[in-house]
Structure 1
Amino acid sequence: MHRRDFIGGTALASLLPLVGGARDAAAAPARQRLLPPALNPGDTVALVSPSSATDERLGLQLAEEAMQALGFEVKTGRHYAARYGSLAGSDAQRAGDLNAMFGDSSVKAIICVRGGSGAARLLPLLDYDAIRANPKVLLGYSDITALHNGLLAQAGLVTFHGPIGAGSWNRFNVDQFRRVFFQRELMQYRNVVEAGDELVPRKHRALTITGGKARGELVGGNLSVLVALAGSPYLPDFAGKILFLEDVSEAPYRIDRMLTTLKLMGALDAIAGFVFGECTDCDPGEGYGSLTLDQIFDDHIKPLGIPAYRGAMIGHIREQFIVPVGGKVELDADAGSFRMLEPVFQG
């Protein structure tokens, strides 16, 4: 699921005023953290499309059936099946669906049908006062990173980075969903490592960059989408946070450039810990004309001297963690894991 937007010259030009230590200009004022009410089977959840359109009706049908199989009643956004170019309707239509579902007292959670691109266009159109008055669960990943960060920065709302409605609801993802939302478990996020027919396990391996433990609130998401918010009031403060990132179909030189951007704006120097998930289809290609991801993390993350690891089950992968954006966690970089420290729901 490609969500590449326009992260090139336009986005970097917006960062020029931030170079030289003006990090505070990029972040919204810190807001009190706002927890959503808990979910229960039988609740009503809303399916909305804040980003790209779904190319086939079957994807919308599968999203609805998956929510029903999880035990929910389902409402759909008025425009969730709409199309405006590559987007699921106009900005006003997509933002209107989000605002309507936050304002609907019968809806207990909002599930994003898919990512793609376009969610950042909605951030100036959302009713943050109404969202603060009616907090609820929001779930999605990839382009939904724009909503996670905008809602945290502007409303203080803790949201959830994880599977989209039209994505895979395999056994692992369903188990994650039930443990997080129904059982309200203080989750321990540790990769499931299976050897299969290999002598030593190869899949889902965590790799320590710098050992140690750190505590803080989680911020982050998709690297490309996050960096595209630079210079706006829709980025939360990075000071003392645990930054988690992932990406897909980006050449290593682009990963290097985006991490350089986070360094130049002061974000990397402010964080307390770092987790990188999967960078799917981010290989350098043939030859030696590119930095490797190992070298990029050694250049940008290792010198920070903070606990950091890569390989977490976060990103454009079939089985993925559901993590609370804005939730308080403890990171153990030596173990390649992190855990919730506090409940992420009201009550």
Structure 2
Amino acid sequence: MFWNRRHFLTLCGLSAIASVIPASTIATANPPAILKPPRLKVGDTVGLINPSSPIEQEDIDYARKELAALGLNVKLGTHLLDEYGYLAGQDADRAADVNAMFADRSVQALLTMRGGWGCSRILPLLNYELIRSNPKIIMGYSDITSLLLAIYARSGIITFHGPVATSTWNPFSVNYVKRLLLDAEPVRMQNPPLTRPQTITGGKARGQLVGGNLSVLSAMVGSAYLPDWENKILFVEEIGEDIYRVDRMLTQLKLAGILDKISGFIFAECTRCEAGEGDEPSLSLPQVLSDWIRPLGIPAWYGSAIGHIKDKFTVPVGVEVEIDANLGIIQLLEPAVG
């Protein structure tokens, strides 16, 4: 189970680390040129890192088995099994594992173990120049959103919103991992049968696909670790949040000017997002999306296979795509890896 993020964001706000962010982390006016990481090949080594919440040895054993089925070897991060309360070790140690895996020439990709909470705490401790000098695939979702967005924004490397090591590596999900990361296909992402997307505003749009977990992304607003949103296709997903909280997070994106810049919008899945307790009055999720997204007049839909679900796409953050909001389809316009 993922830790309940609403408690983490309440108790462990980013203000706790704001005082240690060095001046060098302030975003530059000119973002770095986009780099594609090299594709994976059978026999390559994947470095396992755990920048969020604690895991157990059985999680590592499971990851080894699933990656071996893809013909991939594994190298373990030094602090993979560390624990510090609800964190997978001290901030400096978790950041050191990320930096070390990017610097390690024997490692061709990084896979995060799980989500939870903790990635945002290590963002000021990452060596973005080192990462840009050693572009590699890095993949995960949920709390890993902040790591993916920061590396994309600060290092210019395409990152991957997809399964973590402890995810369900079923045929649907593995198919997209393989086609994007090993076969370098410009894939067409279409939901599995019986999961029909719901159009908010029809039409097609093109742009760089960027996004992740809604609560993590909204908590990063105002930091130096988000990209420029002009003409981006924004995708978000969420789990276990009351509808009014989803409303609040979308309101934050609107007030920050993000929603007014994007050229397309995908609300993937809101898993176990409830209206409220008992007879409390509430808006529905479609009402909230209609209030905030429909007035933008951009192609948008709800229900893409992204997020806290078993059958999930691997979504490249930063790749040019064309979306069709009438059909709920994401078409990559280029391979995501080199």
TM-score in terms of structure 1 length:
0.90
- Offset at 1:68? 1.6
Superposed, which structure 2 residues align to 1:201-216 within 5 Å?
A: 204-216=195-207
- Offset at 1:288? 5.5
Q: Which residue of structure 2 lines up, in the alignment, with residue 327 of structure 1?
A: 319
For 2:296 and 2:166, how far apart are their aligned partners in 1? 38
For residues 18-55 of structure 1, what are the alpha-carbon distances to aligned partners after superposition, in whole Å with 9 as ceiling and x for unaligned? xxxxxxx989742211110111110011111010011x
- Offset at 1:66? 1.2
Q: Which has the higher contact order (CA 8 A, sep 6+)?
A: 1
Q: Which residue of structure 1 lines up, in the alignment, with residue 234 of structure 2?
A: 243
1:47 is paired with a residue whose SS is: strand
Say if 1:171 and 1:284 are closer, same or farther in 2 by CA, change over 3 A: same
Q: What amino acid sits opposite 1:191 in the alignment?
A: N
2:5 is paired with a residue whose SS is: coil
Q: Which residue of structure 2 lines up, in the alignment, with residue 17 of structure 1?
A: none
Whether 1:263 and 2:264 are equivalent positions in the alignment is no
Unpaired segments ≥5 residues, structure 1:
15-24, 195-203
- Offset at 1:118? 0.4
For 2:287 and 2:238, how far apart are their aligned partners in 1? 17
For 1:7 and 1:193, how far apart are their aligned partners in 2? 36
- The count of aligned residue pairs is 326
For 2:14 and 2:175, how far apart are their aligned partners in 1? 40
Superposed, which structure 2 residues align to 1:1-347 within 5 Å?
A: 1-2=2-3, 4=5, 6-7=8-9, 29-54=30-55, 56-194=56-194, 204-285=195-276, 286-287=278-279, 289-346=281-338
| Contact preservation (8 Å) 2:180, 2:335 | no
- Offset at 1:143? 0.4
| Contact preservation (8 Å) 1:148, 1:159 | yes
1:267 is paired with a residue whose SS is: coil
2:250 is paired with a residue whose SS is: helix
- Offset at 1:12? 10
Say if 1:261 and 1:27 are closer, same or farther in 2 by CA, change over 3 A: farther
- Offset at 1:7? 4.1
| Contact preservation (8 Å) 2:49, 2:97 | yes
- Offset at 1:205? 1.9
Unpaired segments ≥5 residues, structure 2:
17-25
For 2:96 and 2:238, how far apart are their aligned partners in 1? 28
For residues 73-118 of structure 1, what are the alpha-carbon distances to aligned partners after superposition, in whole Å with 9 as ceiling and x for unaligned? 1100000111111111100110000000000011100000101100
TM-score in terms of structure 2 length:
0.92
| Contact preservation (8 Å) 1:60, 1:81 | no
- Offset at 1:61? 1.3
- Offset at 1:11? 6.3
Say if 1:178 and 1:104 are closer, same or farther in 2 by CA, change over 3 A: same
Say if 1:245 and 1:152 are closer, same or farther in 2 by CA, change over 3 A: same
For 1:193 and 1:26, how far apart are their aligned partners in 2? 42
Q: What amino acid sits opposite 2:62 in the alignment?
A: L
| Contact preservation (8 Å) 1:47, 1:112 | yes
- Offset at 1:2? 3.6
For 2:124 and 2:299, how far apart are their aligned partners in 1? 35
For 2:96 and 2:31, how far apart are their aligned partners in 1? 26
Aligned sequence identity (%): 50
Say if 1:31 and 1:138 are closer, same or farther in 2 by CA, change over 3 A: same
Q: What amino acid sits opposite 2:218 in the alignment?
A: V
